[in-house]
Amino acid sequence: MSPKTLLRISAVLVVIHAAVHVYTHWQWKDATDSASLAIVNQLPAAKLSFLGQTHTLADYFNGYAYIVALFLLLVAALLWALSDITEKFPAPGLKLLIPLVLFLIVLFFYTIIFFIPGEAGFSGIAILLCTRAIVILHGGHVDQHLGGAKE
């Protein structure tokens, strides 16, 4: 598969991760056992003042969930754009793609540890596909330089 295809599939997987993230977040208030329900009912009531703003714990929880979803969509858009950029400009594309994959690796473990492991699967597959794209791009980039040096 070409790096373009690999990166576009990765972008779609990250969008799916964002969608599942939002879907599962919407269900946080639907606790079924009494212990969880007691905590969930306290979150909208508990107010915190932080840096001059007063919000409930539920506000903070929702805010973080939505900013993560927006950031995932930004990562997906960047992966999609990199699928085009790396075809013509592999070196600058790699300079952006490698830190992005490192972020996805951190996100993968963060999601497994603190959230829903099933969501991490989408990032995990995207990591594998992006890593394969990096290997292909890096190999082609090195071959270009070696080929140019021989001439």
Per-residue model confidence as pLDDT tens digits over 78-91: 999 999 998 888 88
**The pLDDT of residue 143:** 47
pTM: 0.82
Tell me: pLDDT of 137 over 80: yes
Domain ranges of the chain: 3-150
What is the mean pLDDT of the segment spanning 48-52? 85
- Residues sharing a CB contact under 8 Å with residue 130, sequence separation 6 or more, in sequence order: 6, 7, 10, 79, 97, 100, 101, 104
Who has greater pLDDT, 23 or 143?
Answer: 23
Tell me: pLDDT of 151 over 80: no
What is the mean pLDDT of the segment spanning 44-73? 88
C-alpha distances in angstroms, 25 versus 97, 99, 124?
Answer: 28, 27, 20
Q: Going by DSSP bridges, is the β-strand pair 47-50/53-56 parallel, antiparallel, or unpaired? A: antiparallel
What is d(CA 128, CA 147) in angstroms, rounded to the nearest whole number? 28
